[in-house]
Amino acid sequence: MNLNEKKDFISFLIDSNILIFGEFTTKSGRNTPYFINTGNFKYGKQLNTLGKFYAKLIINSNVSYSAMFGPAYKGIPLVVNCCNHLYSEYNINKPFFFNRKEEKDHGEGGTFIGYIPKDNEKIIIIEDVLTAGTAIKEVLPKIKHKYKIICNNLFVLVDRCELAKEKNIKASVELEENYGIKVHSLINIKDIIEYIKNNEKYAKYIDKILKYTESYCIL
């Protein structure tokens, strides 16, 4: 995205109460002054806008893939919405699947729902945020235990540019080096910092965010 598109996207996240400021704890256990909560998406119009951003990101990546996966829970509406927009905007008809947090032992049973990947199919993951990479490292072995797939690309709204939990390298670098997964993001923390620096309403949060990035991020 160009600079103006990034500004529009960040404004959209703030107006939708997705990018919020305060005191929060991430999945990796870090105390952070800002948070991306896609659970706050509640309206069709918001999802329509979001789907357009995601679909364009995937198209611009020029990545080859056969199907899309959304990790439970927040990744589920994201992958469904993204699939819908790839078809409605670009006439690209790709299948999707997602997982349950716990395996179902009745009805159809199992952990995964939706498309059943064939051996050696290329799968992309649709997720909301990359922090320390914890969620992806948890779900990827489960997918590969069930299916013989190739998974080389992760698409997220925001890359927080943070350190991996147990290594002194950026989470995105660890995912690529250890798992062969390249991270594609609409924006990252540097874009957010530039946005709030130039916005009086949010400039009061800049010192806390910069202090946080000094401890946990590689910019």
* Residues acting as catalytic residues: 104, 106
- Alpha-carbon distance of 5 to 49, in angstroms, equals 12
Task: Tell me whether strands 129-130 and 110-114 are parallel, antiparallel or unpaired.
Answer: unpaired
Q: What is the pLDDT of residues 115-172, one digit of tens each?
A: 999 999 999 999 999 998 888 999 999 999 999 999 999 999 999 999 998 778 999 9
Q: Which domains does the chain have, with CATH numbers?
A: 3-99+112-216 (3.40.50.2020)
For the chain, the average pLDDT equals 92
SS (H, E, C) 110-144: EEEEECCCCCCCEEEEECCEECCCHHHHHHHHHHH
Task: Tell me whether strands 31-36 and 110-114 are parallel, antiparallel or unpaired.
Answer: unpaired
Q: What is the pLDDT of residues 5-41, one digit of tens each?
A: 999 999 999 999 999 999 999 888 899 999 999 989 9
pTM of this structure: 0.93
Angle at 86 between CA 82 and CA 91, to 5 degrees: 160
> Residue 75: left if φ>0, alpha if ψ -120 to 50, beta else—which one?
alpha
